[in-house]
Chain A
Amino acid sequence: MFKKILNYWLKFGELLLRINTFIILFFIYFLFFPFFSVYYKIFKKQTKNTTWQKPINSNINLKEPF
């Protein structure tokens, strides 16, 4: 019985956590992204007659920033 009640609360807690995460992500997305999006869309390079680009790393580079 105790296990059942505990499971119920755990599931409820998990649901709350998911709702919270969703709300946080919703705010991040709709508050911050519009500004950067406009900036990004204005300065995005347009390609013509080719999609080949210079590679980000031409040679072996095994580092990561963090």
Chain B
Amino acid sequence: MKNGPLALCFHALFVGFLALPLVMVMLVSLTAKSYLSLPTDGVSLRWYAAMLDNPQFIAAFKTSLLLGLSSACIAQLLAIPAAYALARMQFTGRQAIAAILMSPLLIPHLVLGVAFLQFFSQIGMRGGFVGLVLAHTVVVAPYAVRLMMSAYTGMDPSLERAARSLGASAWTAFVRITLPLAIPGVVSGWLMAFIHSFDETTMTVFLAAPSMTTLPVRIYLHIEETVDPLVAAVSSTLIVLAVVLMVILDKWFGLDRLLTGGGPKDDQ
């Protein structure tokens, strides 16, 4: 099938629709005025300077970064052995464990947020960083497990058997053969976990204490009070970071395979 002019027109409109709000945020962030407006008379970076001077946004950015790093690492540490068992072994309760590991995908984040809030305040952990890490690990683990499973099922299991038949212990065969082959899956699973943790708002808005918020929650609370060029500057920074990340991810993994859950390019 060929793309007719009509189809191309539709594509252009669709991409325009997708880009419009992002372009708008970036334009507004460049204004020189002290209120929301397009930079019609002169471009200024004053709001970016204001952003760097704002301790709240900087602290929230650091919290988000640390939270994403820790929850993605913990999720990946759980996912590497769990996905191996699910992908390679047959045992009773296999289906049930797979369902439990994937269940956070099916439960609305609103409900998770409400549930974690009540649970944490019962055990006296409300508002702490540890609670945030735990909750985020639960939410992002399914992405890590899914990509690890596709990494394990995508490789040739006879390589591991060959290592075993040559006298390697099960542990050695896993560490020296299987895990290195699964590295693309490890990296992409970790990245998906990090991206989802960094973006999570709905659940975190219930769990974050005013003194310790993540960046999306900080942005939300700021917008709730006032929409100014400052929050547009923060948002544009995130858009630029996302574009950089996108280029890198597409080069290394193929963004389509990563986001559609197909796993890294190598298992084709």
Q: Are the chains A and B members of one assembly? A: no
**B contact set with A: CB distance below 8 Å:** none
